[in-house]
Amino acid sequence: MLRYPHIDPVIVRIGDYAVHWYGVMYLIGFAAAWWLGRVRARRPGSGWREAEIPDLIFYGALGVVLGGRIGYMLFYQFPLLVADPLSLFRIWQGGMSFHGGLLGVLVAMGLYARKTGRGFFEVTDFIAPLVPIGLFAGRIGNFINGELWGVPTDLPWGMVFPHVDARPRHPSMLYEAFLEGMVLFVLLWWYARRPRPRMAVSGLFLLGYGTFRFLVEFVREPDPQLGHIAFGWMNMGHLLSLPMILAGAWMLWWSHRRARRA
């Protein structure tokens, strides 16, 4: 049995202002995407220039922040949003959704593609391998905040979160950091090292993330305001991940089928 280490979520306070680890993790994710994007752009035949990467990351960052917050309120706090619409803007109270952030990034990438004259999937195929390091950093931020813990377990690596109760629980945020962050990054970086059919890299990202998130949701404590929403086991994370799995599998199949025909 392990014990939660109680890391202070605030790095430093300056007067009435505080710098939080969670916010720094977002900055680490964006910085990693910027650096990895430059590495990808330098590859022969990439079709991208290093000078394009800052604008691409800027669009992506806006999509993550706006989409993540709006998605969280719509998917997980809709009654609160209806009762108090201004709660949408109280970001200091916490609450971000990956699935909302994904939708926000897709909109942002569509705008970027339109602005630059590129195809939508040309942009998403390029940016997909840049995302998992940010996911890893975000889950570490969740761990530092002591949030998104798992269900009780008897496994030897079960962790006691004293601010929750005295029962050992799955450290599900660390599972997600490993699978959605490290494993997905290695998988996508390896797969994208060679030219692939248009839409294939984006499809693998959706399939990989959706599958990993769907599996971890079985050991993650459901959001208390929602609980299980279907079949006695499906929670909101399952419901939002399932379309990603189906869409990603179809995109992979269709992109390779179209390439074979060509």
* pLDDT for 26: 92
Predicted structure pTM score:
0.91
What whole-number distance in Å separates Cα of residue 242 and Cα of residue 215? 11
**pLDDT per residue over 18-36, tens digit each?**
888 988 999 999 999 999 9
Q: What is the pLDDT of residue 94?
A: 66
Residue 49 pLDDT greater than 90, yes or no: yes
Whether residue 93 has pLDDT greater than 70? no
More confident residue, 7 or 204: 204
Q: What is the pLDDT of residue 162?
A: 92
Tell me the domain boundaries of the chain.
11-145+162-261
11 in Cβ contact with 24 (< 8 Å): yes
132 torsion bin: left (phi>0), alpha (psi -120 to 50), beta (else): alpha
C-alpha–C-alpha distance, residues 45 and 169, integer Å: 48
Query: How far is residue 197's CA from residue 258's CA, in Å, rounded to a whole number?
Result: 8
What contacts 261, CB < 8 A, 6 or more positions away?
none
- Mean pLDDT in the chain? 92
Instruction: Give the pLDDT confidence of 56-69 residue by residue, as tens digits.
Output: 999 999 999 899 88
